[in-house]
Structure 1
């Protein structure tokens, strides 16, 4: 199979709000009031965590099916901690991103814990979002000047 290309485009609605479009879907990204936003929607790092959970959900069901069992219910919890000092410009010491991310999967399935452990090992290696968060992915930045006539 050839590479799939995913893209998001959008425009700043304010200093803390971004409105993006992914395919036919509108995504509103905003900061909580404590960070100067209007709290209209999730913030960028919450979208990362939600994207990770959503990807784990898809891969979890796919792998379970390949292993011959079904998941009746799947709860996924994802949390991460960030020191905001670099983000707000108070420090250059710590990284701006997550220090760590914790994932908890609680599947309801008629299989042993041994099978679930094997299932989890496979899921961890096949989730594209987890792969992007775990390993360096080249990111190319550019800027263009918009000229006003």
Structure 2
């Protein structure tokens, strides 16, 4: 199967609020009021956790079907702690992102703990978001050629 390409475009609605468009969908990313936003939507690091939960759900059900596991439902709880000091330009030894992400799965199934262990192992291997979080992915940031020019008086 050839590579699939996914993309988004985003437009700042304010310094802390962004509208993101992908395919025929759009969504808002915003910060809580204490971080300068209007608290109208999840913030970027919450969307990261949400995308991991969504990916685990899809892959978890796919793998369960392949492994003949009856999965009636799946609840995913994810949390992580990060230190915002570097984000705000302060010196810290902590990294900018999450220090650790904890994932708890609550599958409704009659599968044994041994079977669920193999199921989780396969989810961890096959979830693209998990892969992107746990492995270094090159990110290249540049200024686009169609950047609006600025004028001086």
Task: Give the TM-score of the pair, scaled to structure 1.
Answer: 0.96
Structure 2 residue aligned with 1:50: 50
- Measure the CA separation in 2 of the matches of 1:94 and 1:143: 28
Structure 2 residue aligned with 1:123: 123
How many equivalent pairs are there? 149
Give 5+ residue unaligned stretches, structure 1: none
Give 5+ residue unaligned stretches, structure 2: none
1:34 offset after TM fit, Å?
Answer: 1.1
1:93 offset after TM fit, Å?
Answer: 2.7
Does structure 1 conserve the Cα–Cα contact (< 8 Å) formed by 2:31 and 2:42?
yes
- Measure the CA separation in 2 of the matches of 1:66 and 1:23: 29
1:70 offset after TM fit, Å?
Answer: 2.3
Structure 2 residue aligned with 1:37: 37
Does structure 2 conserve the Cα–Cα contact (< 8 Å) formed by 1:61 and 1:70?
no
- Measure the CA separation in 2 of the matches of 1:122 and 1:76: 16
- Give the secondary-structure state (helix, strand or coil) at the position aligned to 1:29: strand
- What do residues 82-133 of structure 1 show as CA deviations (whole Å, max 9, x unaligned)? 0000001122532111111000011011211111111111111100000000
Equivalences for residues 48-127 of structure 1 within 5 A: 48-127=48-127
